[in-house]
Structure 1
């Protein structure tokens, strides 16, 4: 192109149609379905790793990660109400309300409980912690709008049968439960954990302090009294009698 030809274009102004948007636009296509789409559940479930699943159900740790991945940063996560087991509740039921709040202002709360009828024995001694984890899982899956149940909410026990059996034991005269029935596994596990923490021989505690043979039938009421005594010992370790000191594994078989 000659110099004269080049100068011809100096006087030409290119016009843009008035209906054309010339602003810079960021176009991001994440490929994710809308949260209201039927495919949403499958999409979210595909984000969990194998280590974040147990028997087809997401673990709470995985729910936390995926929730932040999909919904944004969690700015608050914790129990807002805690109802510990009551002294007259020999089933050790604990209930927790848990709230999760995201940076964008979304807030989700859920409630869950833990007792010997809906929790595997190894976790019954940690009723409040287990109920809290379950409630957190429920809040997170509500936020994610998935149909799956958190793995921590599951149990190998037949809860429906346990509830039916308890209902059958109910005293129709006053609506109470039969405290004379055998100490539950949950109570035994709780006593064992406390004895281990305090360095107490459970067998000697039963025989010396409560005059009962730990190898024989022990009522739920007596077990509840023993739990109360162990809680007192935990509050003031100086009150623990020397003769009961010395934790022994499998003390129930002594």
Structure 2
């Protein structure tokens, strides 16, 4: 008799899930589903970004620590990771530029390499004192982004500064002025502009000579005006934000374009 009453009692009860638990939730977000899209699919980027924890994203941009974790989750163990070339700040460089080439090798033997720089024009002030370390972190992030085939930039690559304006200001200071004291935008391209263009071309895998000739219809010698150089810098910054706009005909960085 007692058993029948107990059965009746449980028949009228409704089991409830705790309010703060989602039925289909997976925590942490590091579960690779069998139906994952192809790496060549247009859905791949959103799928990979979905593997990052909220603490690994700043305004939707991944931190390098999150890139490391997700890269190993998706591509396998990292067996080697570190700078392969380091160009520290030179005494004559008043802008404090450091450049680092960074490589990451996975257990399948595939290696990804990228280059990044850090200087007062593209780095928040609190990190400028650590130019080599910051450049290394950025280059690592770029290599991991390349490996994961995701769009956009990492959080460490972003600055609050207007880099294009800073380059213009720096070039204004380093070039001569016209006789009436006004800045002469027809003067030759400055060293700061030339170096900035070279670094951006290297980062974006662009042939500087072809960029000058095909996109801006000018020779890549030092007779290019400051105004044209500023326009080229603006265009490179646009390419940095949206790489789909880079013409295929100018792809393929060549260091000898500077000669």
Name the structure 2 match of 1:75.
79
Q: Does 1:135 align with 2:126?
A: no
Instruction: Measure the CA separation in 2 of the matches of 1:30 and 1:148.
Output: 26
Q: CA deviation at 1:126?
A: 0.2
Instruction: Measure the CA separation in 2 of the matches of 1:84 and 1:140.
Output: 22
Instruction: Measure the CA separation in 2 of the matches of 1:103 and 1:84.
Output: 30
Q: Does 1:45 align with 2:49?
A: yes
Instruction: Measure the CA separation in 1 of the matches of 2:70 and 2:96.
Output: 32
| Equivalent residues, number | 150
Q: CA deviation at 1:29?
A: 6.8
Q: Secondary structure at the match of 2:145?
A: helix
**C-alpha distance after superposition, 1:207-234 (max 9, x if no partner):** xxxxxxxxxxxxxxxxxxxxxxxxxxxx
Q: What root-mean-square deviation, in Å, do the aligned CA atoms of Structure 1 and Structure 2 show?
A: 1.8
Runs of 4+ in 1 over 6 A off after TM superposition: none
Q: Secondary structure at the match of 1:99?
A: strand
Q: Does 1:147 align with 2:151?
A: yes
Q: CA deviation at 1:56?
A: 1.3
Q: Which runs of 5+ in 2 are unaligned?
A: 1-31, 177-186, 193-259
Residue among 56, 63, 66 paired with 1:59: 63
Q: Does 1:84 align with 2:85?
A: no
Name the structure 1 match of 2:163.
159
Instruction: Measure the CA separation in 1 of the matches of 2:86 and 2:33.
Output: 43
Q: Does 1:36 align with 2:51?
A: no
The structure whose RCO (Cα within 8 Å, separation 6+) is larger is 1
Name the structure 1 match of 2:233.
none
Q: CA deviation at 1:148?
A: 2.2
**C-alpha distance after superposition, 1:14-60 (max 9, x if no partner):** xxxxxxxxxxxxxx971111101110001001000000001210000
Q: CA deviation at 1:170?
A: 2.4
Q: What's the TM-score once normalised by structure 2's chain length?
A: 0.56
